[in-house]
Amino acid sequence: MRAETAYHGEMGNQFATLATDNAYNAHTDRPAMLRLAGDVKSLRVLDLGCGAGHLAAELLKLGVAQVIGIDGSETLLHAARERLGEGAILHQHDLEEPLTFLQDQSFDLAVMALVYHHIEARAQLLAEIWRVLRPGGYLRVSTTHPTADWNYFGGSYFADDRVELPLGNGFISYRRMPLEMFLGELLGTGFVLDELVEPRATEQARLVDSHRYDKTHRVPLFLTVKLRRP
Protein backbone atom coordinates (compact mmCIF):
# COMPACT_ATOMS: atom_id res chain seq x y z
CA MET A 1 0.00 0.00 0.00
CA ARG A 2 1.09 3.58 -0.47
CA ALA A 3 3.28 5.12 2.23
CA GLU A 4 0.47 7.40 3.36
CA THR A 5 -1.99 4.50 3.75
CA ALA A 6 0.32 2.14 5.65
CA TYR A 7 -0.20 2.10 9.41
CA HIS A 8 2.84 3.96 10.75
CA GLY A 9 3.81 5.07 14.24
CA GLU A 10 1.10 5.23 16.84
CA MET A 11 -1.60 4.09 14.41
CA GLY A 12 0.49 1.02 13.63
CA ASN A 13 0.89 0.27 17.31
CA GLN A 14 -2.85 0.72 17.89
CA PHE A 15 -3.71 -1.61 15.00
CA ALA A 16 -1.21 -4.27 16.10
CA THR A 17 -2.85 -4.33 19.54
CA LEU A 18 -6.40 -4.11 18.22
CA ALA A 19 -6.00 -6.93 15.70
CA THR A 20 -4.77 -9.36 18.34
CA ASP A 21 -8.15 -10.14 19.88
CA ASN A 22 -10.91 -8.00 18.38
CA ALA A 23 -14.24 -9.16 16.96
CA TYR A 24 -13.55 -8.19 13.36
CA ASN A 25 -9.90 -8.95 12.54
CA ALA A 26 -9.22 -11.76 15.00
CA HIS A 27 -12.60 -13.49 15.12
CA THR A 28 -14.26 -12.78 11.77
CA ASP A 29 -11.77 -12.11 8.97
CA ARG A 30 -8.85 -14.23 10.17
CA PRO A 31 -10.82 -17.45 10.78
CA ALA A 32 -12.35 -17.14 7.30
CA MET A 33 -8.93 -16.67 5.71
CA LEU A 34 -7.57 -19.69 7.57
CA ARG A 35 -10.55 -21.87 6.66
CA LEU A 36 -10.22 -21.04 2.98
CA ALA A 37 -6.48 -21.62 3.15
CA GLY A 38 -7.22 -25.31 3.64
CA ASP A 39 -4.36 -27.75 4.20
CA VAL A 40 -1.24 -25.58 4.22
CA LYS A 41 1.21 -28.12 5.59
CA SER A 42 4.63 -27.84 3.91
CA LEU A 43 3.54 -24.97 1.64
CA ARG A 44 5.58 -21.85 0.87
CA VAL A 45 3.32 -18.88 1.60
CA LEU A 46 3.46 -15.20 0.62
CA ASP A 47 1.66 -12.92 3.09
CA LEU A 48 0.97 -9.59 1.36
CA GLY A 49 0.31 -6.78 3.82
CA CYS A 50 1.29 -9.08 6.68
CA GLY A 51 0.81 -6.36 9.29
CA ALA A 52 1.79 -7.43 12.79
CA GLY A 53 2.08 -11.08 11.75
CA HIS A 54 -1.17 -12.40 13.21
CA LEU A 55 -2.20 -14.45 10.16
CA ALA A 56 1.36 -15.63 9.54
CA ALA A 57 1.55 -16.90 13.12
CA GLU A 58 -1.58 -18.99 12.64
CA LEU A 59 -0.32 -20.37 9.32
CA LEU A 60 2.95 -21.40 10.95
CA LYS A 61 1.00 -23.27 13.63
CA LEU A 62 -0.73 -25.18 10.82
CA GLY A 63 2.60 -26.40 9.48
CA VAL A 64 3.54 -24.21 6.52
CA ALA A 65 7.13 -24.69 5.39
CA GLN A 66 7.90 -20.98 5.12
CA VAL A 67 6.15 -17.62 5.28
CA ILE A 68 7.44 -14.55 3.45
CA GLY A 69 5.72 -11.44 4.81
CA ILE A 70 5.59 -8.03 3.13
CA ASP A 71 4.31 -4.77 4.58
CA GLY A 72 4.91 -1.07 4.03
CA SER A 73 4.95 -0.19 7.74
CA GLU A 74 8.14 -0.63 9.75
CA THR A 75 6.01 -0.22 12.89
CA LEU A 76 3.91 -3.28 12.02
CA LEU A 77 6.93 -5.25 10.84
CA HIS A 78 8.58 -4.62 14.21
CA ALA A 79 5.52 -6.14 15.89
CA ALA A 80 5.58 -9.03 13.40
CA ARG A 81 9.23 -9.77 14.17
CA GLU A 82 8.45 -9.90 17.87
CA ARG A 83 5.50 -12.22 17.23
CA LEU A 84 7.13 -14.54 14.68
CA GLY A 85 10.78 -14.58 15.70
CA GLU A 86 12.72 -16.64 13.17
CA GLY A 87 9.54 -18.21 11.83
CA ALA A 88 9.15 -15.89 8.85
CA ILE A 89 11.17 -13.75 6.45
CA LEU A 90 9.85 -10.18 6.48
CA HIS A 91 10.34 -7.39 3.94
CA GLN A 92 9.42 -3.73 4.16
CA HIS A 93 8.07 -2.94 0.71
CA ASP A 94 5.43 -0.71 -0.88
CA LEU A 95 2.82 -2.96 -2.51
CA GLU A 96 2.24 -0.23 -5.07
CA GLU A 97 5.62 -1.27 -6.51
CA PRO A 98 6.52 -4.53 -8.33
CA LEU A 99 7.72 -7.50 -6.29
CA THR A 100 11.00 -7.68 -8.18
CA PHE A 101 12.84 -9.38 -5.29
CA LEU A 102 10.60 -12.48 -5.54
CA GLN A 103 11.28 -15.26 -8.02
CA ASP A 104 8.81 -16.54 -10.63
CA GLN A 105 6.57 -19.44 -9.57
CA SER A 106 8.15 -19.64 -6.13
CA PHE A 107 5.04 -19.79 -3.91
CA ASP A 108 2.25 -22.32 -3.36
CA LEU A 109 -0.13 -19.86 -1.70
CA ALA A 110 -0.53 -16.08 -1.44
CA VAL A 111 -2.75 -14.45 1.18
CA MET A 112 -3.93 -10.84 1.30
CA ALA A 113 -6.08 -10.09 4.35
CA LEU A 114 -7.97 -6.77 4.27
CA VAL A 115 -5.27 -5.17 2.11
CA TYR A 116 -6.55 -5.24 -1.47
CA HIS A 117 -8.87 -2.23 -1.07
CA HIS A 118 -5.94 -0.08 0.10
CA ILE A 119 -4.00 -0.60 -3.15
CA GLU A 120 -4.22 1.67 -6.20
CA ALA A 121 -1.88 -0.31 -8.51
CA ARG A 122 -4.07 -3.41 -8.17
CA ALA A 123 -3.65 -4.67 -11.75
CA GLN A 124 0.13 -4.55 -11.35
CA LEU A 125 -0.02 -6.28 -7.97
CA LEU A 126 -2.27 -9.06 -9.30
CA ALA A 127 0.05 -9.59 -12.25
CA GLU A 128 2.96 -9.90 -9.82
CA ILE A 129 1.06 -12.39 -7.65
CA TRP A 130 0.27 -14.43 -10.77
CA ARG A 131 3.97 -14.37 -11.66
CA VAL A 132 5.24 -15.59 -8.28
CA LEU A 133 2.59 -18.29 -7.79
CA ARG A 134 3.25 -21.71 -9.25
CA PRO A 135 0.64 -23.13 -11.66
CA GLY A 136 -2.04 -24.68 -9.49
CA GLY A 137 -1.18 -22.31 -6.63
CA TYR A 138 -3.80 -20.43 -4.65
CA LEU A 139 -4.63 -16.87 -3.68
CA ARG A 140 -6.83 -15.91 -0.72
CA VAL A 141 -8.16 -12.33 -0.56
CA SER A 142 -10.43 -10.61 1.95
CA THR A 143 -11.86 -7.12 1.68
CA THR A 144 -14.55 -4.91 3.13
CA HIS A 145 -17.99 -5.95 1.88
CA PRO A 146 -19.32 -3.58 -0.81
CA THR A 147 -22.73 -3.36 0.84
CA ALA A 148 -21.16 -2.54 4.22
CA ASP A 149 -19.29 0.36 2.62
CA TRP A 150 -22.45 1.49 0.84
CA ASN A 151 -24.47 1.40 4.08
CA TYR A 152 -21.78 3.30 5.99
CA PHE A 153 -20.68 5.93 3.47
CA GLY A 154 -23.88 6.30 1.44
CA GLY A 155 -24.03 7.57 -2.11
CA SER A 156 -24.01 5.12 -4.99
CA TYR A 157 -23.36 1.43 -4.44
CA PHE A 158 -21.32 1.53 -7.65
CA ALA A 159 -18.95 4.25 -6.39
CA ASP A 160 -15.23 3.45 -6.45
CA ASP A 161 -13.96 6.48 -4.56
CA ARG A 162 -11.43 6.61 -1.73
CA VAL A 163 -12.99 6.86 1.71
CA GLU A 164 -11.74 7.24 5.27
CA LEU A 165 -12.72 5.16 8.27
CA PRO A 166 -11.87 6.01 11.90
CA LEU A 167 -9.19 3.86 13.54
CA GLY A 168 -8.02 4.69 17.03
CA ASN A 169 -6.95 8.33 17.03
CA GLY A 170 -6.73 8.56 13.23
CA PHE A 171 -8.26 7.39 9.97
CA ILE A 172 -7.53 4.64 7.47
CA SER A 173 -7.91 5.37 3.76
CA TYR A 174 -9.07 2.81 1.21
CA ARG A 175 -11.00 2.47 -2.03
CA ARG A 176 -14.50 1.09 -1.83
CA MET A 177 -15.68 -0.80 -4.90
CA PRO A 178 -18.74 -2.76 -6.06
CA LEU A 179 -18.64 -6.54 -6.20
CA GLU A 180 -18.38 -6.64 -9.99
CA MET A 181 -15.25 -4.48 -9.85
CA PHE A 182 -13.61 -6.51 -7.07
CA LEU A 183 -14.25 -9.88 -8.70
CA GLY A 184 -13.75 -8.51 -12.20
CA GLU A 185 -10.20 -7.44 -11.42
CA LEU A 186 -9.30 -10.79 -9.87
CA LEU A 187 -10.87 -12.93 -12.58
CA GLY A 188 -9.60 -10.63 -15.31
CA THR A 189 -6.05 -11.50 -14.27
CA GLY A 190 -6.81 -15.14 -15.01
CA PHE A 191 -7.53 -16.48 -11.53
CA VAL A 192 -10.35 -19.01 -11.15
CA LEU A 193 -12.86 -18.48 -8.33
CA ASP A 194 -13.19 -21.62 -6.19
CA GLU A 195 -15.17 -20.24 -3.25
CA LEU A 196 -16.67 -17.00 -1.92
CA VAL A 197 -17.80 -16.47 1.66
CA GLU A 198 -19.34 -13.62 3.65
CA PRO A 199 -17.81 -14.48 7.04
CA ARG A 200 -19.62 -14.20 10.34
CA ALA A 201 -17.86 -13.87 13.66
CA THR A 202 -16.93 -16.98 15.60
CA GLU A 203 -18.34 -17.73 19.03
CA GLN A 204 -15.16 -16.34 20.61
CA ALA A 205 -16.14 -12.90 19.32
CA ARG A 206 -19.29 -13.00 21.44
CA LEU A 207 -17.09 -12.94 24.54
CA VAL A 208 -14.92 -10.13 23.18
CA ASP A 209 -17.65 -7.84 21.79
CA SER A 210 -21.22 -9.14 21.74
CA HIS A 211 -22.48 -6.11 19.77
CA ARG A 212 -20.04 -6.64 16.92
CA TYR A 213 -20.63 -10.39 17.05
CA ASP A 214 -24.35 -9.82 16.52
CA LYS A 215 -23.69 -7.28 13.77
CA THR A 216 -21.66 -9.73 11.67
CA HIS A 217 -24.59 -12.16 11.86
CA ARG A 218 -27.09 -9.55 10.67
CA VAL A 219 -25.25 -7.63 7.94
CA PRO A 220 -22.29 -8.58 5.71
CA LEU A 221 -19.12 -6.71 6.73
CA PHE A 222 -16.38 -8.65 4.94
CA LEU A 223 -15.91 -10.70 1.80
CA THR A 224 -13.37 -13.53 1.40
CA VAL A 225 -12.50 -15.38 -1.80
CA LYS A 226 -10.47 -18.48 -2.63
CA LEU A 227 -8.84 -18.27 -6.06
CA ARG A 228 -6.65 -20.61 -8.06
CA ARG A 229 -3.95 -19.97 -10.66
CA PRO A 230 -4.59 -22.47 -13.49
Alpha-carbon distance of 209 to 166, in angstroms, equals 18
What pLDDT, on the 0 to 100 scale, is given for residue 68? 98
Q: For the chain, give every domain's residue range.
A: 9-228
List 66's β-bridge partners, or say none.
Answer: 44
Q: How many CB atoms lie within 10 A of CB 217?
A: 12
Query: Looking at residues 33-38, what average pLDDT do you find?
Result: 94
Q: How confident is the model at residue 11 (pLDDT cuts 50, 70, 90)?
A: low
Residues 6+ apart with CB under 8 A from 227: 138, 139, 140, 141, 186, 191, 192, 193, 194
pLDDT at residue 10 is higher than 70? no
Q: Kindly report, residue by residue over 91-128, the tens digit of the pLDDT.
A: 999 999 999 999 999 999 999 999 999 999 999 999 99
Question: 9-228: what fold?
Answer: Rossmann fold (3.40.50)
Asked if residue 139 has pLDDT above 60, the reply is yes
Give residue-wise pLDDT tens across range 41-67. Answer: 999 999 999 999 999 999 999 999 999
